[in-house]
């Protein structure tokens, strides 16, 4: 029986067959056709669980309300994109569908950290970091956090001490990551310099953030949409998560995403 999913390869920009037991690499995405996937919910649930760093695109025949999509595929992540088309369509439309999703909120980032099993105390510290004003940028906070669960402000030094108990990332690193997402998750795929300046960021700073936090060139960060793989890359790079060995491009043997060196 053909698997109802395909892997959208970030390097070759092609759809390849889903291989159970062989994980997609960082930057890859999951693509499924709604009608076929809805007939095999356990397969979909297992794929989404196995590779949460993959953005998900659902191919539909016509306009499908979000509520109907959720009923048909209850295991979809909240940020899944819907696109009219089939597996035979142009893959660049799939990347554009991922790129056109709303930027993630703080609750999305915290939910991902919970899904990946980060300790509750670490997640609470990250939540407090996201609630802090980012003094290095303007007051745009659409990606920093939503205010539904904002706690009272904490000092950066106190938060850095809490973060230090779990790993090397501090307030500065988390705020730099948020700013990196603010640029890289723009709907427009443009050259590094133009994209950086359009978002009020120096291109040299953008390159520094990408290399330091994700271990990839800024061009790769901008051309490969999906905030999930970027958060996963940072968490792996700084030792919060291990690198799985059974990945499509042998990225488990490396300490940076494979797409950075192909």
pLDDT tens per residue across span 104-154: 999 999 999 999 999 999 999 999 999 988 765 433 333 343 433 444 456
Give, as one character, the DSSP assignment of residue 251: G
- As a three-state string, the secondary structure of 24-54 is CCCCCEEEEEHHHHHCCHHHHHHHHHHCCCC
Handedness of CA 87, 91, 93, 97 (dihedral sign): positive
Of 97, 105, 93, 64, nearest to 80 (Cα)? 97
- Name the CA radius of gyration of the chain, rounded: 18
What average pLDDT score do residues 205-220 get?
92
Give, as one character, the DSSP assignment of residue 85: -
| Residue 86 neighbours by CB distance under 10 Å | 10
Rounded-to-integer distance, Cα 239 and Cα 232, Å? 11
Rounded-to-integer distance, Cα 108 and Cα 138, Å? 22
Largest CA distance in the chain: 56
Of 93 and 243, the one with more pLDDT: 93
What average pLDDT score do residues 48-74 get?
87
The pTM is what? 0.85
CA 7 to chain centre: 15
What average pLDDT score do residues 61-79 get?
83
Of 81, 37, 75, 74, nearest to 55 (Cα)? 81
Domains (range + CATH), the chain: 5-99 (3.40.50), 106-260 (no CATH)
Is the pLDDT at 238 greater than 80? The verdict is yes
216: left (phi over 0), alpha (psi -120 to 50) or beta: beta
Rounded-to-integer distance, Cα 255 and Cα 239, Å? 10
Best-predicted range by mean pLDDT among 36-45, 159-168, 178-187?
159-168
Residue 210, both tokens: 């990408």
Best-predicted range by mean pLDDT among 73-87, 96-110, 241-255?
96-110
User: Which residue in the block uniquely carries the two structure tokens 């904002």?
Assistant: 150
Is the pLDDT at 7 greater than 90? The verdict is yes
**How much is the pLDDT for 136?**
55
**How much is the pLDDT for 45?**
92
Q: What residues are paired with 55 via a beta bridge? A: 29
What average pLDDT score do residues 227-253 get?
80
Rounded-to-integer distance, Cα 251 and Cα 22, Å? 11
**How much is the pLDDT for 120?**
97
Mean predicted lDDT score pLDDT of the chain: 83
Quickly state the pLDDT bin for 19 (edges 50, 70, 90): confident
Rounded-to-integer distance, Cα 60 and Cα 86, Å? 7
Rounded-to-integer distance, Cα 236 and Cα 260, Å? 15
């Amino acid at each position: 029986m053909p698997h109802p999913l395909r892997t959208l390869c970030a390097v070759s920009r092609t759809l390849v067959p889903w291989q159970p037991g062989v994980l997609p690499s960082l930057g890859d995405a999951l693509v499924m056709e709604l009608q076929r996937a809805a007939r095999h919910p356990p397969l979909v649930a297992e794929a989404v669980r196995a590779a949460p760093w993959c953005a998900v695109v659902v191919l539909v025949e016509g306009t499908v309300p979000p509520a109907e999509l959720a009923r048909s595929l209850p295991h979809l992540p909240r940020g899944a994109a819907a696109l009219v088309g089939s597996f035979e369509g142009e893959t660049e439309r799939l990347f554009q569908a991922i790129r056109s999703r709303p930027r993630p909120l703080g609750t999305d980032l915290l939910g991902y950290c919970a899904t990946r099993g980060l300790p509750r105390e670490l997640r609470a510290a990250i939540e407090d970091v996201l609630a802090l004003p980012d003094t290095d940028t303007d007051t745009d906070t659409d990606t920093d956090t939503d205010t539904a669960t904002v706690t009272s402000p904490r000092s950066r030094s106190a938060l850095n001490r809490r973060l230090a108990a779990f790993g090397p990332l501090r307030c500065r690193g988390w705020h730099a990551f948020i700013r990196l997402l603010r640029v890289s998750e723009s709907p427009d795929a443009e050259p590094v310099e133009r994209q950086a300046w359009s978002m009020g960021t120096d291109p040299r700073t953008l390159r520094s953030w990408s290399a330091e936090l994700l271990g990839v060139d800024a061009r790769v960060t901008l051309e490969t949409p999906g905030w999930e793989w970027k958060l996963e890359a940072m968490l792996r790079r700084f030792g919060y998560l291990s690198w799985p060995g059974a990945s499509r491009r042998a990225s488990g043997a490396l300490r940076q995403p494979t797409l950075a060196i192909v």
